[in-house]
C-alpha cells in the first residue's frame, strides 16, 4: 500500500511541480528561493495528508497551504541574507521581449502588494479560482476575499499606470 501511495504522490508532484512553483513564486513576491522553500513545505504537508486528499482535490489543498504559508512567512522578520537569482537575459526579438517585459513589470508590481492582497489576486486571476475558492484558500469569509482582490487590483492599476485594461 505504501508504494502505491508514493507512486501516486510522485506522479502528482511531477505533473504539477512547475505550475505550483510558479504560484509559490508569485505568492512570495518574486523570491525564487522562498518560493522553493514554501513549495517544499506545502508538499511535505500534502504527503502526510495524501491518503485523505489524493482522490479529492490535492491541488486545492496545496494552494491553500501555499497561500497560508506565504502569509505566515511574510509576517516573520528576516535578518539574514537574501540570495538573488538574476542572470542577464539574452535580448529577445519582437513580441516575446514585450511579453517578458510586461510580465516582469506585473510581477514587480505584485511584489509591492500586501501579502494577503497578492495571494487573493494571484489565486483569483492567475489560478482562475472562484471567490468562494479564494476565500477557502485564504481561510477568510467570501466578502473579505472579494475586498482583498478588489483592493489588490486597484493598487496594481495604480502601480502600473492603468496599462492593464480590465477584462470584460
pLDDT in tens, 109-137: 999 999 999 999 999 998 888 999 999 98
Please list, in sequence order, all residues whose beta carbon lies within 8 angstroms of the beta carbon of residue 24, skipping any fewer than 6 positions away.
34, 35, 36, 38, 39, 42, 66, 70
pLDDT category of residue 77 using cuts at 50, 70 and 90: low
Set out the domains of the chain in order of their start, with CATH numbers.
Answer: 1-75 (no CATH), 95-168 (1.10.10.10)
Distance (Å, whole) CA 117 – CA 148: 5
The pTM is what?
0.57
What count of residues does the chain have?
A: 168
Amino acid at each position: 500500500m505504501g508504494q502505491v501511495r508514493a507512486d501516486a504522490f510522485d506522479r502528482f508532484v511531477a505533473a504539477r511541480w512547475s505550475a505550483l512553483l510558479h504560484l509559490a513564486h508569485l505568492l512570495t513576491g518574486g523570491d525564487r528561493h522562498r518560493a522553493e522553500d514554501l513549495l517544499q513545505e506545502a508538499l511535505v504537508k500534502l504527503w502526510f495528508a495524501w491518503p485523505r486528499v489524493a482522490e479529492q482535490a490535492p491541488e486545492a489543498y496545496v494552494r491553500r497551504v501555499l497561500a497560508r504559508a506565504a502569509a505566515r512567512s511574510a509576517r516573520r522578520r528576516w535578518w539574514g541574507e537574501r540570495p538573488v537569482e538574476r542572470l542577464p537575459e539574452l535580448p529577445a526579438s519582437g513580441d516575446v521581449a514585450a511579453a517578458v517585459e510586461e510580465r516582469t513589470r506585473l510581477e514587480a508590481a505584485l511584489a509591492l502588494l500586501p501579502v494577503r492582497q497578492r495571494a487573493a489576486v494571484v489565486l483569483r486571476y492567475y489560478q482562475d479560482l472562484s471567490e468562494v475558492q479564494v476565500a477557502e484558500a485564504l481561510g477568510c469569509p467570501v466578502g473579505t476575499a472579494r475586498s482583498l482582490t478588489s483592493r489588490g487590483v486597484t493598487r496594481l492599476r495604480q502601480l502600473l499606470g492603468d496599462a492593464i485594461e480590465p477584462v470584460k
